[in-house]
Amino acid sequence: MTEALGIASGVIAVVDLSAKVLSLCFQYSREVKNAEADIERLCKEVAAFQTTTEDAKSLVEGPRGKELKVSRRLVSAIEDGHSTLGKLAQELQPSTGRKAMSRFGIRALRWPLESKDLEGDIQHLARCRGNILFALNVDQIPILQNVDHRTALNQLQIADGASFDSRAEEHNPTCLPNTRVELLKDIDRWIDDPNSRTMYWLNGMAGTGKSTISRTAAQARHDRGDLGASFFFKRGEIDRVFVARAPLFSNGG
């Protein structure tokens, strides 16, 4: 929330200063005849920077703003650009004497920025804008990847009988009390250890109780409330292979 508020206040300040710089540039464009190209380039970059910061604010404050982890740290880039705008606004501000001469119809304004210095300011604003755009692009990658993942998952066929507590599995056995105690404890330790290996491999010949142990472990974790999902493969049933999904997966469980 703090980052979002910082971005919001920073963008508001950028909008105010951008308007001031653009207004001053318009005044110079009417009264100065030898700086058209510089004025046009500066106005273009100031307007682009303002638009980029407003877009960033909209995204951070939007429904997926909390997912934009990199973009929420953009305050420094916005403040950096704001500082450059403040410097430009100060340098472009006509002196009191020149304002008085202008009121008497004397063409008194002179473009105060040297081309070399102006080029540095324009490039600095462009770098700030580029940093903001880069952060927004970095944040978009995982969001798009998550969308692709959800799309692919939603296209999979649902295997209704694959979870341990499904109707198709309800008559299959679990371990009898006080049996396989050490092995089930070892499975619990593997599940509870955040540094354990990704896969726990039960290896054995057919009929040695691997599915029974798995159902028992799944039931125990379900009773504890931390079972993510379960999927019991069944040879010969096309909907219970890798290209299908259990109902818990389809519900985001």
Query: What residue spans define the domains of the chain?
Result: 2-154, 158-250
pLDDT in tens, 155-213: 666 666 778 888 877 788 999 999 999 999 999 999 999 999 989 999 888 889 999 99
**Mean of pLDDT values over 9-14:** 90
Confidence (pLDDT) at 110: 87
Inter-CA distances, 39 with 18, 27, 45, 92, 154, Å = 14, 10, 10, 11, 53
**DSSP reduced 3-state for 231:** coil
**DSSP reduced 3-state for 29:** helix
pLDDT in tens, 105-123: 545 678 999 989 999 999 9
Cα radius of gyration (the chain) = 32
Selected residue with higher pLDDT from 244 and 11: 11
Which phi-psi region, left, alpha or beta, contains residue 28 (left: φ > 0; alpha: ψ -120 to 50)?
alpha
Q: How confident is the model at residue 17 (pLDDT cuts 50, 70, 90)?
A: very high
d(CA 7, CA 73): 8
Confidence (pLDDT) at 16: 94
